[in-house]
Amino acid sequence: MKQTKAYNDPEFMGSRAARPLRILSEYLEPRTRLDAEGVEDTIVFFGSARLKEGNKYYEAARELASRLTQWSKGLDPEGRRRFVVCTGGGPGIMEAANRGASEARGRNVGLTISLPLEECVNPYVTRELEFHFHYFFMRKFWFAYLAKALVVFPGGYGTLDELFETLTLVQTRRMRKPMPIVLFGNDYWNEVINFDALVRHGTIDAKDVELMYRTDSVDDACAYLIRHLTADALSQPGAML
């Protein structure tokens, strides 16, 4: 009887013992494809999956992603793709950002995740840059590893989790690269999170509030991001932590 090699054995590869191999595959497979597509680094958009076309935040994310893509496409004549728009690949704000990048004729990344209520990848993600993860922490790794900027639109638990994990990495200096973080939507963020109260209670320093830039303006957000990316990240392509 012909023997089955371990890496071709579905029972073994799906077993608890093979979990390290599955985790490693969610590092190596995206790395291989990102290298093949020449993606050097990203601008990550987070936000609610529930906000639909026509919503003011959806349209702002779409416009901002389009403008940043138009800017980034002219940066590297050697064909390396800098500051590529990256989202979780789902609907809502994620769709809006992928859509804006696509409408600017730019490549864009979607990092989807297996969930009990399965959401399909939105139709605007570049097919060669569509990734599907089982492990949340590996998906978060790819958000953080390539990111040179973060834009956070109104969102729920997932968005808050992603925002605060990034803030923790920046505050503790475990993320050493410059990381401009834009919170878009002052009314939402001022109501949902009272950062000033955290300062008053002594649980964060006043300077920690300055880790984020808050705005309601696409023009303002775009100018802020381009200014910081040009000054701090343009000469340093590639992944950094």
Spatial distance between the Cα atoms of 190 and 176, rounded to a whole number of angstroms: 27
Helix ranges (H only) for the chain are 10-13, 19-36, 56-73, 93-103, 136-146, 157-171, 186-192, 195-200, 206-209, 218-232
Exposed / middle / buried, residue 174 (Cβ in 10 Å: 0-12, 13-18, 19+): exposed
Residue 5: DSSP 8-state: P
pLDDT (0 to 100) of residue 118: 57
Domain boundaries, the chain: 12-232
pLDDT of residue 145: 95
Fold (CATH) for 12-232? Rossmann fold (3.40.50)
Residue 116: the pLDDT is 74
- Per-10-residue mean pLDDT of the chain, 241 residues long, equals 80 90 96 95 97 98 98 81 96 98 97 80 96 95 97 97 97 94 98 96 96 98 98 85 71
Q: Are 235 and 181 in contact (CB under 8 A)?
A: no
At which residue do the structure tokens 């093949």 appear?
36
pLDDT at 235: 86
